[in-house]
Amino acid sequence: MVTLSQSRLGLRTITLVVWALAAASLMYWGLRLASGRGVAEPAPVTSASPAAIDPLAVARVLGAATPTTTPQVSSASRFVLHGVVAGSPGGGAALIAIDGKPARPFRVGSEVEEGLILQSTAARQATLGATRNGPAIVTLDMPPLTR
Protein backbone atom coordinates (compact mmCIF):
# COMPACT_ATOMS: atom_id res chain seq x y z
CA MET A 1 0.00 0.00 0.00
CA VAL A 2 1.25 3.50 -0.93
CA THR A 3 1.34 6.05 1.78
CA LEU A 4 0.32 9.66 1.38
CA SER A 5 3.87 11.01 1.82
CA GLN A 6 5.25 8.83 -0.97
CA SER A 7 2.61 10.01 -3.48
CA ARG A 8 3.28 13.68 -2.64
CA LEU A 9 7.01 13.21 -3.14
CA GLY A 10 6.48 11.55 -6.53
CA LEU A 11 4.05 14.26 -7.62
CA ARG A 12 6.48 17.01 -6.61
CA THR A 13 9.34 15.29 -8.46
CA ILE A 14 7.31 14.96 -11.66
CA THR A 15 6.19 18.60 -11.39
CA LEU A 16 9.80 19.74 -10.92
CA VAL A 17 10.95 17.76 -13.97
CA VAL A 18 8.13 19.17 -16.17
CA TRP A 19 8.90 22.76 -15.14
CA ALA A 20 12.63 22.23 -15.68
CA LEU A 21 11.97 20.94 -19.21
CA ALA A 22 9.66 23.90 -19.92
CA ALA A 23 12.29 26.39 -18.69
CA ALA A 24 15.03 24.68 -20.74
CA SER A 25 12.84 24.78 -23.86
CA LEU A 26 12.02 28.45 -23.31
CA MET A 27 15.71 29.28 -22.84
CA TYR A 28 16.69 27.33 -26.00
CA TRP A 29 14.13 29.05 -28.25
CA GLY A 30 14.78 32.46 -26.75
CA LEU A 31 18.52 32.22 -27.43
CA ARG A 32 17.92 30.81 -30.91
CA LEU A 33 15.54 33.61 -31.90
CA ALA A 34 17.80 36.26 -30.36
CA SER A 35 20.76 35.05 -32.43
CA GLY A 36 18.82 35.60 -35.68
CA ARG A 37 18.93 31.96 -36.75
CA GLY A 38 15.53 31.13 -35.32
CA VAL A 39 13.45 31.19 -38.46
CA ALA A 40 14.74 29.56 -41.62
CA GLU A 41 13.91 31.29 -44.89
CA PRO A 42 11.84 29.20 -47.26
CA ALA A 43 13.62 27.85 -50.30
CA PRO A 44 12.88 29.88 -53.44
CA VAL A 45 10.47 28.31 -55.86
CA THR A 46 11.82 28.18 -59.38
CA SER A 47 10.00 27.32 -62.52
CA ALA A 48 11.42 26.03 -65.76
CA SER A 49 10.29 28.97 -67.91
CA PRO A 50 7.94 31.77 -66.91
CA ALA A 51 5.11 32.31 -69.35
CA ALA A 52 4.69 35.75 -70.89
CA ILE A 53 1.36 37.20 -69.78
CA ASP A 54 -0.50 39.87 -71.70
CA PRO A 55 -2.30 42.10 -69.16
CA LEU A 56 -4.90 43.24 -71.70
CA ALA A 57 -5.77 39.64 -72.58
CA VAL A 58 -6.17 38.77 -68.90
CA ALA A 59 -8.40 41.82 -68.40
CA ARG A 60 -10.59 40.81 -71.35
CA VAL A 61 -10.91 37.25 -70.02
CA LEU A 62 -11.97 38.62 -66.64
CA GLY A 63 -14.68 40.71 -68.29
CA ALA A 64 -13.11 44.16 -68.49
CA ALA A 65 -14.18 46.41 -71.32
CA THR A 66 -11.62 47.28 -73.92
CA PRO A 67 -9.76 50.37 -72.81
CA THR A 68 -10.80 53.55 -74.55
CA THR A 69 -8.19 55.98 -75.69
CA THR A 70 -7.70 58.92 -73.39
CA PRO A 71 -6.08 62.16 -74.43
CA GLN A 72 -2.33 62.08 -74.01
CA VAL A 73 -1.22 64.94 -71.80
CA SER A 74 2.42 65.65 -72.37
CA SER A 75 2.95 66.92 -68.86
CA ALA A 76 1.21 68.69 -66.04
CA SER A 77 3.65 71.56 -66.55
CA ARG A 78 1.39 72.89 -69.30
CA PHE A 79 -1.17 73.78 -66.64
CA VAL A 80 -0.65 76.19 -63.76
CA LEU A 81 -3.23 76.46 -61.01
CA HIS A 82 -3.54 80.08 -59.83
CA GLY A 83 -6.60 79.84 -57.61
CA VAL A 84 -9.32 77.52 -56.33
CA VAL A 85 -12.82 78.00 -55.00
CA ALA A 86 -13.77 74.70 -53.40
CA GLY A 87 -17.53 74.62 -53.12
CA SER A 88 -19.93 71.93 -52.04
CA PRO A 89 -19.23 68.40 -53.25
CA GLY A 90 -19.49 68.51 -57.01
CA GLY A 91 -19.14 72.30 -57.10
CA GLY A 92 -16.39 74.86 -57.19
CA ALA A 93 -14.15 76.58 -59.70
CA ALA A 94 -10.47 76.88 -60.55
CA LEU A 95 -8.31 79.58 -62.13
CA ILE A 96 -6.03 77.72 -64.57
CA ALA A 97 -3.41 79.01 -67.02
CA ILE A 98 -2.66 76.80 -70.04
CA ASP A 99 0.63 76.96 -71.99
CA GLY A 100 1.70 80.23 -70.35
CA LYS A 101 -1.42 82.13 -71.46
CA PRO A 102 -3.38 84.26 -68.97
CA ALA A 103 -5.36 82.25 -66.44
CA ARG A 104 -9.05 81.62 -67.10
CA PRO A 105 -11.76 80.48 -64.67
CA PHE A 106 -13.30 77.01 -65.11
CA ARG A 107 -16.26 75.58 -63.20
CA VAL A 108 -16.28 71.94 -62.09
CA GLY A 109 -17.63 69.89 -65.00
CA SER A 110 -16.52 72.32 -67.69
CA GLU A 111 -14.01 71.47 -70.41
CA VAL A 112 -10.56 72.94 -69.75
CA GLU A 113 -9.05 71.68 -72.98
CA GLU A 114 -10.25 69.26 -75.63
CA GLY A 115 -10.64 65.92 -73.83
CA LEU A 116 -9.95 67.31 -70.33
CA ILE A 117 -12.68 68.22 -67.87
CA LEU A 118 -12.29 69.86 -64.47
CA GLN A 119 -13.45 66.99 -62.25
CA SER A 120 -13.16 68.42 -58.76
CA THR A 121 -11.59 71.08 -56.59
CA ALA A 122 -10.22 70.89 -53.09
CA ALA A 123 -8.15 73.18 -50.89
CA ARG A 124 -5.24 74.32 -53.11
CA GLN A 125 -5.85 71.45 -55.59
CA ALA A 126 -7.78 70.67 -58.78
CA THR A 127 -8.11 67.42 -60.74
CA LEU A 128 -8.59 67.03 -64.48
CA GLY A 129 -9.83 63.91 -66.27
CA ALA A 130 -11.35 62.65 -69.51
CA THR A 131 -14.83 62.37 -67.98
CA ARG A 132 -16.52 63.90 -64.95
CA ASN A 133 -16.51 60.67 -62.91
CA GLY A 134 -13.57 58.88 -64.54
CA PRO A 135 -10.03 58.51 -63.26
CA ALA A 136 -7.97 61.65 -62.78
CA ILE A 137 -5.37 62.26 -65.48
CA VAL A 138 -3.76 65.40 -64.06
CA THR A 139 -3.76 66.71 -60.49
CA LEU A 140 -2.83 70.38 -60.20
CA ASP A 141 -1.49 71.85 -56.97
CA MET A 142 -1.12 75.52 -56.20
CA PRO A 143 2.43 76.76 -55.62
CA PRO A 144 3.45 76.94 -51.96
CA LEU A 145 2.79 80.15 -50.07
CA THR A 146 5.77 82.45 -49.56
CA ARG A 147 5.96 84.77 -46.57
Q: What is the C-alpha separation between 82 and 101, in angstroms, rounded?
A: 12
Q: Which of 67, 95, 90 is nearest to 79 (CA)?
A: 95
What value does the mean pLDDT of the chain take? 80
Residue-wise pLDDT tens digits, 92-127: 899 999 888 899 999 998 998 888 999 988 888 889
Q: Tell me whether residue 51 is in a domain.
A: no
In a domain, 124, yes or no: yes
pLDDT above 70: percentage of residues in the chain: 78
In this prediction, residues 59-87 reach a mean pLDDT of 72
Its domain, for residue 113, covers: 76-141
Note whether residue 64 is domain-resident: no
